[in-house]
Amino acid sequence: MRTRTTTAAALTVLALALTACNSEEEPAAVDSRSRSAGISAEDKAKAREAAGLPPEPSATARYRFLEAWDAIDRRVSKPGTDEQAVSRGLNQCGSINASPDDRDKLVRQTLERFTITTRLPEISTPETDGKILDAVHTYLCPDF
């Protein structure tokens, strides 16, 4: 299921990027940020929905997720990786959306996605991982 969701997301983003292109040739020096600026917020939201992901979280939701993340265990959060944690959380939302009733599977995916088993094996327990999963679900995708 994860492969199909990832493939569908990649194809959706590619299709959106192609439709955002115009027939004029872009200068070679244009970076990817400039090219992606042509995709509307509405198109991005549609792509996220098609990929089974929630809308981009508000600043408040992001802050509360990161606050909950730190409260679980200060060691899970590395300096300068807040965006990575939110991104991984949003990806976990896709897994929650795909298997909402299989908590054991979701907890295992959380372990893998957030690399807790390899980085912090001493705190890699179903209890800790369940707390991370709950923080993701509560703050990043409460409607899933």
**What pLDDT does 12 receive?**
45
Residue range 67-77, pLDDT digits in tens: 998 999 888 88
For the cut 70, the answer to whether the pLDDT of residue 113 exceeds it is: yes
CA angle 94, 55, 10 (to 5 degrees): 55
Residue with tokens 């991982």: 129
Q: Summarize pLDDT for 13-64 with one digit per residue, the tens.
A: 444 443 444 444 444 444 444 445 678 888 888 888 888 889 899 999 999 9
Look up tokens 């908590």; give the residue. 103
The rounded distance, in Å, linking the Cα atoms of 47 and 18 is: 13
Q: Any idea where the domains of the chain sit in the sequence?
A: 2-50, 59-139
